[in-house]
Structure 1
Amino acid sequence: MPFKRQDSIHAPIDTTPSLKNSPGSKDDEEEEEHELSGVGLDKKVPLERNNDAHYHERKAIDPSALGVDELDPANLLSNGQERPIETAVDFSTRLIATVDDVNMPIHTLRMYVLGLGLTSFAAVLGQIFYFRPSSLTVSSLFIVVIADMLGRLWYMLFNALERLTQRFFPTEYRRPIWTFINPCEFNLKEHTATLIMSTTAFSSAQAISVFAADELYYDLNPNYGISIFTLIASQFLGYGIAGLMRAVVVYPSYAVWPATIPTVQLFQLLHNDKDIAGQRKRMKFFLLVALGIFIWEWFPEFIAPTLTGVSIFCLAKRDSVWVTRIFGGSYPNEGMALFSVCLDWAYLSGASSLYTPLATQMSLYAGVAVSATLLLTAYAGNVWQAQNFPFMAQDLFYENGSSYDQSLILNADYSLNRTLLEEQGLPWFATSMAIYYLGLNLSIGATITHCLLWYWEPVKEAATAFRSRSTDDAHYRKMLEYKEVPMWAYGAIVVSSFAMAMATCYTGHSHLPWYGVIVAFIIAIVLFPFVSIFPAITGWQVSIQTLVLMLGSAVVPGNAQANMYFGLYGSNAATQGIAFASDLKIAQYTKLPPRTTLWVQSLGTVLGGILQIVISKQIIGSHRDILLDPAGNNIWSGQNVQSFNSQAVTWGALAKDMYSPGSTYDMIPLSVLVGFGVPIIPWIIHRYYPKLRMDLFITPLFCYTLGYLAAGINSTIFMSVVTALLTQGYLRIYRPTWFRKYNYIMSAALDAGMQVFVFITTFALFGAGNGTTVAMPNWALNPVNYADYCYLDDSS
């Protein structure tokens, strides 16, 4: 458990006003009037759009802007200092405002124009870059910043236009028009709805990868109707599952969803208490940090790339392959980057060190330490013929170490040819990659047991409380003011998704039989509560894609195309459900009504999906030959589709042979079963030795990181540990006031400033616009070859 316990994981401490009374009681009304009076509000005064000063006063108090002398005594130590933020209730009430304005406009013309506009922008941009050699990821914080700028501009522009029309049109004609166009300042709930709508489309849907592979490799061209309904089914299945289980993964206090806190705090900073000195100081801090990181990123990303990974060990000895394997790591598959110093926030931001609970991060880095030992030992011991292959690689190999050519074992329709397979032999993984898959499957089994051992009681009580509408969470109690989405509606979404999936799988010639669709749906539904509770509590998301693809190869063996669709409805649906649950939590924190949340999520998904399908079909139709070419060109590349199809072939056509009992890698699927037993050991230790705090040890995360160093750029790890210990360790415990006021705003500012930099330079310098890149002249921190001075070719 990543947060400090009292009696149990769900036990709140008395840090907020009592919520004992039922909604609508006289005591509740008196309590609400008392809360609103704290911000100068009269509950009986209606919201007037032309009284901006009064509207400002109606904004909720941001607890992060309070001084120590304004805190509830329950949040102070005996010496008068603020106590550390430790429990789940602390995080959700001392960092996020619980006050709500039920009269705040949401369904405004401005919200729909901005929401639909940004959804279209994100969908088109994300889909174009899916087929480009350079990548661009639009983050939610980037959308928050852009939406805020556009919302404020809208308000100022139409306010000015309204003043210009005063002399020409009578008030009785003018007022209704301008009230419809510009009812108030751009507010918190409009902003939240805009974000939720647009973030559904800022990355290419997995269904698009399936359609692109169908068209490029399997000579299938699903029409627009089949494509749209397939995409909707795969996305909405996850939404329906998340909605059915929201009582245990969204509403309770233990479901903090740590990754949402920086976004919610940024919302509060932009909209609440602008006239309070403490809030203005926090806004200045945010702007300075965002500007500072925007300026700084020019150095590691362009001027001085060496700053992405500085290793004194490699600088001291550049002629040893083992030094590179152990201490190098600023390039993919270079090494483990032990003690390498990364000064590039574009890489460090992925570690989420500023907002992920310390217990989660320490469990991860404990696994990383074991991973380093395990990878080195396995390679030195030649486990699975390790020394025949590169130390780190994601490709498939022949046993002699040469790259495996999958095309030599496939028929023209990309189905497996067993005669050719016998001639070529089964492929091999680099040993580091095999260990990665081993750890991944261990973590899935451990996830289920860990949830049952540590989270079963609070989850059970949360489900019971939801049925009686007595969930003891300050934010949830405020949400009772709004109409809930009924359970039958979410159930209908799941049933409708199943019907659409079943129909499109046959009409679209997916090769996935009816029983394959059923099994994929069952997997998504059964695994969702386990894989969603982890990001809700620990901030870490479990990956089930590998397991689902393995199971798909058993259900429909030897068929890569069917395996793609199996993964679409199995793992992708669970991933979409997690994303929707996260959005529901943001909505709960910002008091966006549940029905509005589902509506804008659905609207963004449908619009974004349609645009992505149209754009992808146009690109494939115009540049088919280039997309099939492994090299592509400087403007278009099919690398993402090629990689996706290659993975489908690997798992769909070869998994049964590679992982069957007695095969080289039979331990990889069996590790799921082994993982079931891993959490039992720390659970038993905690029962007898509670002072060891094994309840803070996240066993699935530890298992997952056993192969953590096997891929990617590892130079971020050391600085991520330092950042975690500094922020979630030292500042949270010993400087709690600074932590409450600035830590999450700093996280949002760093990510927002970095995203603005990436967006600008991707077009201006790195070839996203016309395919032409701008090169920085070589100098000491931008050498001719490898920027870290560390890399030594593994073949040498």
Structure 2
Amino acid sequence: MATTIEVLPAVGPPALEYLDEKDEKASDTKEHVFNVDSDIGEVCDDRAIDLDADGKEKPIVTAEDWSTRLISLHDDPTLPVWTFRLWFLALGLSAFGAVLGEIFTFRPQTVYVSQLFLQIASFGLGKILEEVIPGPGNKRFKMTDSAFWRFMNPGPFNMQQGEVGILIMAAASTHGALAINIFAADDLFYGFTPNPAIAIFTLLGSQLLGYGLAGMMRSFLVYPTYCVFPNLIPTIQMFDVLFRNQDNVLQRKRIKFFWALFVGIFIWEWIPEYFAPVFTGFSIFCLARQNSPWVTRIFGGAAGSGGSAYGALFQPLSTQLSLFTGVLICILAFTGTYATNSEIAGEVREIIRSSNFFSNQPPTRDGRRYNQTLILNDDFSLNLEKLEVQGLPWFSASYTITKIGTSLSFGATLTHMALWNGKQVWEALKSGQRGDCQDPHYLKMKVYKEVPFWWYGAMFVTWGFFIAVGFAAIFLPVISTLYAILCYVPGTEDIARMLGAGLIPGKPQANMYFTLYAYNSTEQGRSMTRDLKMGQYTKLPPRVTFTMQSLINYVIMKTIVSTHREILTSVQGTNTWSGATVQSFNSDAIAWGALAKQLYSPGSTYGIVPLSIIIGLFVPIPFYVLHRYFPKAHFDSVITPMICSEIGYLSGTFPSLFCTFLLCLFSQYYLRKYHGRWFRKYNFLMSAALDGGTEVMTFVYSFAVGGAGGKTINFPNWALNPVGNPDYCKRLT
């Protein structure tokens, strides 16, 4: 597993431009041998690099296959990048994405401003600006070839300037930093409003820490070939469709294929989402027993699905099989816990019957809402005398199992990384220090000025905060490597809370800020490594990638919190506004920051949760040993951290698991094994079209009739849009 990535997926169409003879010699590496069938810019169906000795399509097996056969190496360093169009669209779409992203944080609907949506929007707007802004490259409004007009409109809207630079900046702004949740929780639950200047610098610091860490570690987290980042491939695929070889016959076929699927899925999604919700989940058992609550509990779930098949066409097969194995264990664990005649199962039944089973605020033992203000002093520290009166919160069994799975996953992640990828990362680290990385995309990037190490170092050192920063620095390589290879993100938020609880006990606010710098910095760093890899794949100058990182809008959060305070602190919320995300964050801060000793110490009710970290360290070892003795049995494809993390997968709403599983098998097994050429050309293009069309439809639906615009317009009830649950299962209260 350290040398090949047998389960990694491939991009849809082939690389649309290839190395010519000069490029081939320039790569100067024996590791990658290219047999070029055509000149740059011409696409051919059959190339020697894709065929085996018998003339058949070779399967995509290793990371080297993926990098050299499926992604274009062509680049034109003369294309202008720093233009008016870049800054205008990047800043405009960043503001748009920041506002929507922050609004959606306080919405009950799960809606995201996705990369694919922003990619399509930036392409359309960029082509419009190409036509309307005067400049030497505009045939309608041609101006003198001066520096000013070259800045305004130097010519055609190109990929580096258009899609990549704008997309990196706009996409970064849509993901709310953890600091926003802290400021909202301070305001809603503690009556404390930080000074705006302090809040903004805190926000900047938590993000710049992660960016700095990622940049300093890019030699072994971004540059090497094994850092694939499978979830980038639909985005890279769309770059090819929108910009490369528009006049080529084969490329035109792929363009038509993409847009046909995109429009088709956009139209189709309106049927199950709005007109006929029965199609979101069909349950034969509920149709047979429509009034049985037990049938609903076991076979229902369409009413709150909110799930999707995202990732089914690009995530590695081993990742998805491990996920489904974990979900199977989750089903057995939840069912067994519920059915067992134990005290905890009885308590779970009582909480299930109460209105707070899925509440994001901790309940009391009898299911009432736990009032955190009754156990805290004026400085928000724990008051033990008040705690004696109020008592401890009581978490449901599903919540506890979820936390156990998270802890097991963290321990398993450390061992898994050391056993399977430790040598690989160590060799890449030494290679990076020597400056002899042989990844073909990295070699192409040497034509551009690199970001000096001290730029990232200054970004990091300026905001260094001791242990929390050390936590992020230690675990960023582990998390980002697994993300790059397996498309799997281990959870470290709870672990950061545990560490903060041990260092600063009895202070929930301090725990939130410790988590901010320990966990959020890691997440920002992981995001930065992905953006750096996108820049390497698309040959975006590194200094552009560095500059395009954007930050969220603090003012939006303050406006929403001040306007909808009562709704955001309520358990139920409304169909328009919900404080569930902030409530959940605050609940964890209370549990770990104020009550860690009482709840999680050895011998306490939930002491198994932190102990599971130690247990998790040993989980990958049996599979590693079995692989050494039985190397052909695929024990190296068992991703134990993911199996553990999915043990609590169903503690929330029920997702579309079965559909995802079938799509995964169809793509990553059937197409890849038996239709290699089609898989190479169209698989990831199909993923981009289906995901992109669905996400654009979701965005339009949410604002048109789904309530995101402030008003919900329900479709009239009929046979395929029944009253109650759309799968005809009995509605539980």
The TM-score, its normalising length taken from structure 1, stands at 0.84
| 1:565 has 2:566 as partner | no
The CA deviation at 1:214 is 2.1
AA aligned opposite 1:567 = T
Q: Distance in 2 between matches of 1:37 and 1:722?
A: 37
Which residue number in structure 2 is paired with residue 508 of structure 1? none
Q: Equivalences for 1:3-152 in 2 at 5 Å?
A: 4=4, 38-39=39-40, 66-67=44-45, 69=46, 71-72=47-48, 74-134=49-109, 136-152=111-127
Identity of aligned residues (%): 44
Paired residues of 2:131 and 2:140 also in contact (CA < 8 A): no
The CA deviation at 1:91 is 2.2
Moved more, 532-541 or 129-138: 129-138
Which residue number in structure 2 is paired with residue 725 of structure 1? 665
Q: Equivalences for 1:361-376 in 2 at 5 Å?
A: 361-376=320-335
Shift of the 97–79 alpha-carbon distance from structure 1 to 2, 3 Å rule, reads same
Paired residues of 1:94 and 1:740 also in contact (CA < 8 A): no
Which residue number in structure 2 is paired with residue 779 of structure 1? 718
Paired residues of 2:482 and 2:489 also in contact (CA < 8 A): yes
Q: 1:182-213, CA deviations, whole angstroms, 9 ceiling, x for partnerless residues?
A: 11211110120100011111132221121222
Which residue number in structure 2 is paired with residue 189 of structure 1? 160
| 1:681 has 2:622 as partner | yes
| 1:484 has 2:450 as partner | yes
Which residue number in structure 2 is paired with residue 348 of structure 1? 308
Which residue number in structure 2 is paired with residue 614 of structure 1? 555
Q: Distance in 2 between matches of 1:657 and 1:529?
A: 33
Q: 1:508-543, CA deviations, whole angstroms, 9 ceiling, x for partnerless residues?
A: xxxxxxxxx422111111111111111100011111
Q: Distance in 2 between matches of 1:417 and 1:244?
A: 43
Shift of the 623–370 alpha-carbon distance from structure 1 to 2, 3 Å rule, reads closer
Paired residues of 2:317 and 2:664 also in contact (CA < 8 A): yes
Which residue number in structure 1 is paired with residue 419 of structure 2? 453
| 1:521 has 2:457 as partner | no
SS of corresponding position for 2:235: helix
AA aligned opposite 2:460 = V
Q: Distance in 2 between matches of 1:536 and 1:632?
A: 37
SS of corresponding position for 1:492: helix
Q: Distance in 2 between matches of 1:354 and 1:280?
A: 22
Which residue number in structure 2 is paired with residue 268 of structure 1? 240
| 1:357 has 2:335 as partner | no
Q: Distance in 1 between matches of 2:625 and 2:576?
A: 57
SS of corresponding position for 2:718: coil
Which residue number in structure 1 is paired with residue 651 of structure 2? 710
Q: Distance in 2 between matches of 1:316 and 1:721?
A: 25
AA aligned opposite 2:125 = L
Q: Distance in 2 between matches of 1:262 and 1:243?
A: 24
The CA deviation at 1:304 is 1.4
| 1:600 has 2:601 as partner | no
RMSD: 3.1
Shift of the 547–495 alpha-carbon distance from structure 1 to 2, 3 Å rule, reads same
| 1:179 has 2:150 as partner | yes
Shift of the 66–259 alpha-carbon distance from structure 1 to 2, 3 Å rule, reads farther
Q: 1:743-777, CA deviations, whole angstroms, 9 ceiling, x for partnerless residues?
A: 111111111111211221211112222x2210111
AA aligned opposite 1:740 = R
Q: Distance in 2 between matches of 1:702 and 1:259?
A: 20
SS of corresponding position for 1:138: coil
Q: 1:476-530, CA deviations, whole angstroms, 9 ceiling, x for partnerless residues?
A: 11112222223333222211122xxxxxxxxxxxxxxxxxx42211111111111
| 1:228 has 2:200 as partner | yes
Q: Distance in 1 between matches of 2:504 and 2:331?
A: 36
The CA deviation at 1:80 is 2.0
Alignment partner of 1:239 out of 177, 200, 211: 211
Which residue number in structure 2 is paired with residue 545 of structure 1? 493
AA aligned opposite 1:377 = G
SS of corresponding position for 1:251: coil
Paired residues of 2:19 and 2:74 also in contact (CA < 8 A): no
Moved more, 463-472 or 453-462: 463-472
| 1:695 has 2:643 as partner | no
Q: Distance in 1 between matches of 2:540 and 2:343?
A: 53
Q: 1:413-440, CA deviations, whole angstroms, 9 ceiling, x for partnerless residues?
A: 6543322322333222221221111111
Q: Equivalences for 1:198-237 in 2 at 5 Å?
A: 198-237=170-209
Q: Distance in 2 between matches of 1:370 and 1:311?
A: 22
Paired residues of 1:36 and 1:99 also in contact (CA < 8 A): no
Q: Distance in 1 between matches of 2:2 and 2:127?
A: 38
Shift of the 284–654 alpha-carbon distance from structure 1 to 2, 3 Å rule, reads same
Moved more, 618-627 or 656-665: 618-627
Which residue number in structure 1 is paired with residue 11 of structure 2? none
Which residue number in structure 2 is paired with residue 578 of structure 1? 526
Q: Distance in 2 between matches of 1:329 and 1:412?
A: 43
The TM-score, its normalising length taken from structure 2, stands at 0.91
Q: Distance in 1 between matches of 2:290 and 2:562?
A: 48
Q: 1:687-736, CA deviations, whole angstroms, 9 ceiling, x for partnerless residues?
A: 1111211111111111112222222223x111111010000110011111
Shift of the 421–458 alpha-carbon distance from structure 1 to 2, 3 Å rule, reads same
Q: Runs of 4+ in structure 1 displaced over 6 angstroms?
A: 15-28, 31-37
Q: 1:165-185, CA deviations, whole angstroms, 9 ceiling, x for partnerless residues?
A: 56xxxx6x4665543321121
Moved more, 523-532 or 479-488: 479-488
AA aligned opposite 1:192 = V
The CA deviation at 1:295 is 0.7
Paired residues of 1:320 and 1:792 also in contact (CA < 8 A): no
Alignment partner of 2:344 out of 367, 370, 385: 385
AA aligned opposite 1:524 = A
Q: 1:655-711, CA deviations, whole angstroms, 9 ceiling, x for partnerless residues?
A: 221111111111110100111111111000111111211111111111112222222
Q: Distance in 2 between matches of 1:443 and 1:32?
A: 39
Q: Distance in 2 between matches of 1:36 and 1:263?
A: 26
Q: Distance in 2 between matches of 1:400 and 1:633?
A: 25
Paired residues of 1:686 and 1:695 also in contact (CA < 8 A): yes
Shift of the 703–194 alpha-carbon distance from structure 1 to 2, 3 Å rule, reads same
AA aligned opposite 2:322 = S
Paired residues of 2:181 and 2:582 also in contact (CA < 8 A): yes
The CA deviation at 1:631 is 5.8
The CA deviation at 1:463 is 1.2
Structure 2 gap segments, 5+ residues each: 9-14
Shift of the 521–27 alpha-carbon distance from structure 1 to 2, 3 Å rule, reads closer
SS of corresponding position for 1:690: coil
Paired residues of 1:84 and 1:734 also in contact (CA < 8 A): no
Q: 1:90-139, CA deviations, whole angstroms, 9 ceiling, x for partnerless residues?
A: 22232211121111211111111111111111112222333445553100
The CA deviation at 1:146 is 0.2
Shift of the 110–450 alpha-carbon distance from structure 1 to 2, 3 Å rule, reads same
The CA deviation at 1:26 is 11
SS of corresponding position for 2:173: coil
Moved more, 253-262 or 553-562: 553-562
Shift of the 766–89 alpha-carbon distance from structure 1 to 2, 3 Å rule, reads same
AA aligned opposite 2:637 = L
Which residue number in structure 2 is paired with residue 326 of structure 1? 298
Q: Distance in 1 between matches of 2:181 and 2:512?
A: 9
Q: 1:233-281, CA deviations, whole angstroms, 9 ceiling, x for partnerless residues?
A: 1001111111122122211111100010110111111111111111111
AA aligned opposite 2:704 = A
AA aligned opposite 1:742 = Y
Moved more, 625-634 or 571-580: 625-634
How many residue pairs end up in the alignment?
Answer: 714
Paired residues of 1:2 and 1:360 also in contact (CA < 8 A): no
